[in-house]
Structure 1
Amino acid sequence: MSSIFTKIISGEIPSYKIAENDDFFVFLDINPNAKGHTLVVPKKEVNKLFDLEDDLYISLMSYSKKIAIALEKAVPCKRVGMAVVGLEVPHVHVHLIPLQAMEDFQFNKKVKLEPEEFIAIAKAISANL
């Protein structure tokens, strides 16, 4: 059965897409910890981070860095935090979260954004790539 991320990548489920290349799909988290919370997801559906082939793992980290730099330019923050948890969706993904304080990194704290805000943020990040 396909993960929710595979369905987002295929366009079956809509998303606030930021970027994609042959290997990765980048979009805003629909239930964000902070404004600009972004997910970087391999197009290849793999359950666990350390089950990725070495080349794909290294590429994921490199591409996540590129996205984080664009994110930090688009969303004012002290820094961009990165987490790989992987319990909620069985498909490898990197969380990139703009941080003002440690509380922004707690996955039980969520912010509410309107669709227009998601669209504007996705465009701003994309523009910095």
Structure 2
Amino acid sequence: GKDAIDVQIVKAQDANTVQVKKDTDAKIKAFVKDNKDLTQTKIMDTAKPIQDSIYTMLEKAILGTIVAIIVILLFLRNIRTTAISVVSIPMSLLIAMIALKLSDVSLNILTLGALTVAIGRVIDDSIVVIENIYRR
């Protein structure tokens, strides 16, 4: 057999998984660069599902926004009222991200799931508000 160095990183409970992954990747890459005879093999990466969930959530949020815009335009046929939904969704996400950052809550599967549900509620509520404004 060959000699090997095994490195296992366990993050603190309050640490950000994605940030810990970035930091350790940079340090291991620098270590391997300094030691030319070493190669690096990653066996498990728990940050990957979180990063995938972030990208999926953003993709679904953009798709949901586009569908909501099309539906509102089809039913109300008014660009000004549609603008309310267009602005409300990104503003809600921005406020949620700021609140998460200020309260030191990291992005994880639970918070991403909650944000996904919240996006649906924001779209639904903005449609209800727009319909009520449109009726009056």
- Shorter-normalised TM-score: what interval? under 0.3
Normalization by structure 2: what TM-score? Answer: 0.26
Higher-helix-fraction structure: 2
Higher-Rg structure is 2
Higher-strand-fraction structure: 1
